[in-house]
C-alpha cells in the first residue's frame, strides 16, 4: 500500500531534493578537470569555480537548516528560532553563490521562498523574498564580471521564479488553513449533533415518564380506590377475588412508580460522548483526553457551555499558544464538573484575554461557573473551569423572577 504524504511532507521532501540536486554541479566543478595556473589567473573572475571547503560548509549548513526548519511546517505562528532558521537559510544560500561564483545559490533561495509563507506574514515575507534575491547581485557583478544592469536583470529573473514558488507555497498554506477550519467546524458539528441526540433522548425519556405518571398512575390509583370500596361491599368468594385484584392493582402502581423513577434518573446526558470528537484529527497538536465516563449532566444549556469552552481551549492551543501537546481532563467533583487543561506552548508573561477567553468567562459566569488561567513564559497555559451541575438557588430565583 503506497505511503500517503500530506502537503507539508511533500514540500519538505521536494526542498531537500532540490538542495541535493544543487550539490551535483557543485561536486562536478570540484572534481572536474583542473585548470592550469595561467588560465586560472586569466579566468578567475569570469565564471564558476570549484567550491572551497568553506563553501561546502555553508552548503551543508543550508541543508541542515532546511531539514530542521521544515519540521515546523504547519505551525500557526513562527517562533524566534524559526526566524533565525530563515536567516541561516538565506545567508548560506547567498554564501554558496559567493564562494562558488555561480547562480546556484539563487536556486537555493527559491527553496527558501517556499518556506516563507509558512513562517512569516505576507507583509514580511514579500520584502524578505525580494531583498534576498537582490543580495546576490554582488556575486553577478564581481563573480561573473556582469555590468550592473545585466546583474539586475539576472536578479529579476531569479526573483520571478522565486515569486512563483512563493505564491504556490502561499496557496498551499491557505488551503491548509481552510482544511483546518473545515476540520474544526466538522468536529464542532459532530459534537453538537451528539449533544442534541443526547438531549433528545433525555427529553423523550422525560416525556415517557411524565405520561406514565400522569395517565397510568392516575388510572391505577383510581382503580385501587374503587377496588378497596368494592372489597367492603362484597361478601363471600367475591370479596376474596376483589381483595386479590386490589393487591395486584397496588403492586402494578408500585411498579409504574419505580419505572417512572428509573426513567427520570437515567435521563441525564453523557457529556463525554460529545467532548471526545473535538480532539480527533487536529493537525500539529497531540491532544490527550481524560474524560470521566459517563460524565452526566441534566441541563442541556450547561452541557452546551462545557462543549463550547472545550472547543475554545483546543482552538486557542492551535492558533495562539504554539503548543505541540494538549492535555484535557474532565471530572465530577462536589456537585460540579471540573475541566482542567494544560499545554506545552510558549506561554506568556502578561495574559491579554482575547475574545475567546472573555467569551468563556461570560458563558461560565451566566451559569455560576468560574475560570482560572495560569501561564508563564516557556511553561505553556493552564486553565481550570468549574461549572455547577445544578443552578444555585439565587440563580433559580433570578430566573423565576
| CA 359 distance to own-chain centroid | 19
pLDDT at residue 395, as a whole number? 42
Confidence band for 306, pLDDT divided at 50, 70 and 90: confident
pLDDT tens-digit profile of 371-388?
Answer: 888 888 777 888 899 888
pLDDT at residue 260, as a whole number? 61
> Are the C-beta atoms of 162 and 109 separated by less than 8 Å?
yes
Q: Indicate if the pLDDT at residue 40 is higher than 50.
A: no
Confidence band for 37, pLDDT divided at 50, 70 and 90: very low
> Are the C-beta atoms of 274 and 198 separated by less than 8 Å?
yes
Lowest model confidence (mean pLDDT) among 346-350, 381-385, 390-394:
390-394
What residue ranges in 284-354 does DSSP mark as E strands?
A: 286-291, 296-297, 325-333, 336-343
Average pLDDT value for residue range 179-201: 74
Q: Indicate if the pLDDT at residue 269 is higher than 70.
A: no
How many whole angstroms separate alpha carbon 249 and alpha carbon 222?
10
Q: What pTM value is reported for the model?
A: 0.60
Counting residues of the chain whose pLDDT is more than 90, the rounded percentage is 9
pLDDT at residue 218, as a whole number? 64
Confidence band for 74, pLDDT divided at 50, 70 and 90: low
pLDDT tens-digit profile of 140-178?
Answer: 887 777 888 888 888 888 888 999 999 988 888 888 778
Q: Looking at beta carbons, which pairs linking 172-178 to residues 24 or more positions away fall under 8 Å?
A: 172/7, 172/11, 172/117, 173/117, 173/118, 175/7, 176/7, 176/8, 176/74, 176/283
In this structure, what are the phi and psi dihedrals at residue 4, rounded to the nearest 5 degrees? Answer: -85, 125
> Are the C-beta atoms of 111 and 15 separated by less than 8 Å?
yes
Indicate the burial class of 287 (C-beta count within 10 angstroms; 0-12, 13-18, 19 or more).
buried
Q: Indicate if the pLDDT at residue 336 is higher than 80.
A: yes
Q: Write the DSSP symbol of residue 70.
A: G
Instruction: Give 5 or 35, the one with higher predicted confidence.
Output: 5
Q: Indicate if the pLDDT at residue 319 is higher than 80.
A: no
Q: Indicate if the pLDDT at residue 4 is higher than 70.
A: no
Average pLDDT value for residue range 82-88: 88
CA terminus-to-terminus distance, the chain: 66
DSSP states of 40-51 as a string?
HHHHTTTS----
How many whole angstroms separate alpha carbon 278 and alpha carbon 289?
10
pLDDT at residue 267, as a whole number? 52
> Are the C-beta atoms of 110 and 74 separated by less than 8 Å?
no
Amino acid at each position: 500500500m503506497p505511503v500517503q504524504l500530506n502537503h507539508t511532507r511533500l514540500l519538505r521532501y521536494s526542498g531537500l531534493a532540490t538542495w541535493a540536486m544543487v550539490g551535483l554541479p557543485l561536486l562536478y566543478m570540484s572534481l572536474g578537470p583542473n585548470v592550469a595556473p595561467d588560465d586560472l589567473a586569466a579566468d578567475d573572475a569570469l565564471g564558476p569555480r570549484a567550491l572551497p571547503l568553506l563553501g561546502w560548509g555553508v552548503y551543508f549548513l543550508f541543508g541542515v537548516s532546511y531539514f530542521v526548519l521544515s519540521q515546523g511546517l504547519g505551525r500557526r505562528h513562527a517562533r524566534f528560532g524559526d526566524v533565525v532558521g530563515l536567516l541561516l537559510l538565506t545567508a548560506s544560500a547567498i554564501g554558496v553563490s559567493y564562494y562558488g561564483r555561480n547562480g546556484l545559490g539563487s536556486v537555493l533561495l527559491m527553496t527558501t521562498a517556499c518556506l516563507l509563507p509558512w513562517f512569516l506574514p505576507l507583509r514580511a515575507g514579500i520584502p524578505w523574498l525580494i531583498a534576498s534575491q537582490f543580495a546576490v547581485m554582488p556575486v553577478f557583478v564581481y563573480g561573473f564580471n556582469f555590468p550592473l544592469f545585466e546583474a539586475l536583470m539576472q536578479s529579476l529573473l531569479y526573483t520571478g521564479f522565486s515569486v512563483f514558488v512563493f505564491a504556490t507555497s502561499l496557496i498551499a498554506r491557505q488551503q491548509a488553513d481552510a482544511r483546518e477550519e473545515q476540520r474544526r467546524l466538522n468536529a464542532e458539528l459532530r459534537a453538537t449533533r451528539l449533544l442534541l441526540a443526547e438531549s433528545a433522548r433525555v427529553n423523550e425519556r422525560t416525556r415517557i415518564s411524565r405520561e406514565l405518571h400522569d395517565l397510568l398512575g392516575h388510572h391505577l390509583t383510581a382503580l385501587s380506590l374503587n377496588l378497596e370500596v368494592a372489597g367492603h361491599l362484597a361478601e363471600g368468594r367475591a370479596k376474596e377475588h376483589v381483595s386479590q385484584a386490589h393487591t395486584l392493582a397496588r403492586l402494578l402502581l408500585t411498579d409504574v412508580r419505580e419505572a417512572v423513577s428509573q426513567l427520570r434518573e437515567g435521563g441525564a446526558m453523557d457529556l463525554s460522548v460529545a467532548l471526545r470528537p473535538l480532539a480527533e484529527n487536529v493537525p500539529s497538536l497531540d491532544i490527550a483526553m481524560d474524560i470521566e465516563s459517563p460524565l452526566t449532566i441534566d441541563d442541556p444549556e450547561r452541557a452546551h457551555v462545557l462543549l463550547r469552552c472545550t472547543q475554545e481551549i483546543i482552538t486557542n492551543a492551535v492558533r495562539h499558544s504554539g503548543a505541540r501537546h494538549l492535555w484535557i481532563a474532565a471530572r465530577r467533583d462536589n456537585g460540579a464538573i471540573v475541566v482542567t487543561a494544560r499545554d506545552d506552548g510558549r506561554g506568556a508573561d502578561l495574559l491579554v484575554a482575547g475574545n475567546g477567553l472573555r467569551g468563556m468567562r461570560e458563558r461560565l459566569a451566566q451559569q455560576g461557573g468560574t475560570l482560572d488561567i495560569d501561564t508563564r513564559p516557556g511553561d505553556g497555559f493552564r486553565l481550570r473551569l468549574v461549572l455547577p451541575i445544578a443552578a444555585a438557588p439565587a440563580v433559580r430565583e433570578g430566573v423565576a423572577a
